[in-house]
Amino acid sequence: MLFLQTLYEKMRKHVHEDPADRLRRGGATIGDTGVHIFDGAGAYIDYDFAHLFTCGHHVTISPSKLLMHDASMGFMLGCARAGRITIGDYVFVGVGCTLLPGVTIGSRVVIGAGSVVTGDIPDNSVAVGSPAKVIGTYDEYIEKCRQDMEKSPHYPPRDKCSPEEVRRMQEEISKYGYLGTFQV
């Protein structure tokens, strides 16, 4: 399985345009440092309205839905609504999120997996749910993770794990473990 994943990633680089580059080509304003936007696994990016998308530096958007327009009133009113999505610096958007038109996500923010962002999320926040609600600060979340890391097992990055390390992971992780060095 690892062989097929590696082969897919190598081939994808040659036949797949990076989503950030495609958004830029459509008029989006995107930071040039540490931006990772993933468009596989059920993601939907509203490329036709890329000019309404802005994000800063060090942003990761896991496969999610970025909707810069809403055509739900088209039949009744004969028009669609368009709105900006603006994302600050040092933001992580978890897998399966939906960002609706007209939202601003501040800097130093984590949006939990599966969340639906219907309104603005302020700086230094962790937000989860549908609709997404702030449940704490980014600083508190990072500190909690640091403390958890001190008492949890550590492993190499998944693509560098030997079969023995994978078995060790299966045996040792009861709740959480940490993999390698993640660099953004």
* Catalytic positions: 69
105/60 Cα distance (integer angstroms)? 13
* Sign of the four-CA dihedral 142, 144, 149, 161: negative
- Residue whose token pair is 């399985």: 1
Torsions phi, psi of 81, nearest 5?
-100, 140
Torsions phi, psi of 145, nearest 5?
-65, -40
Question: Residue 31 carries which side chain, given as an amino acid letter?
Answer: G
* Sign of the four-CA dihedral 127, 133, 139, 145: negative
Q: Judging by beta carbons within 10 Å of its beta carbon (0-12, 13-18, 19+), is residue 181 exposed, middle or buried?
A: exposed
38/54 Cα distance (integer angstroms)? 16
Tell me if 47 sits within 8 A of 85, measured CB to CB: no
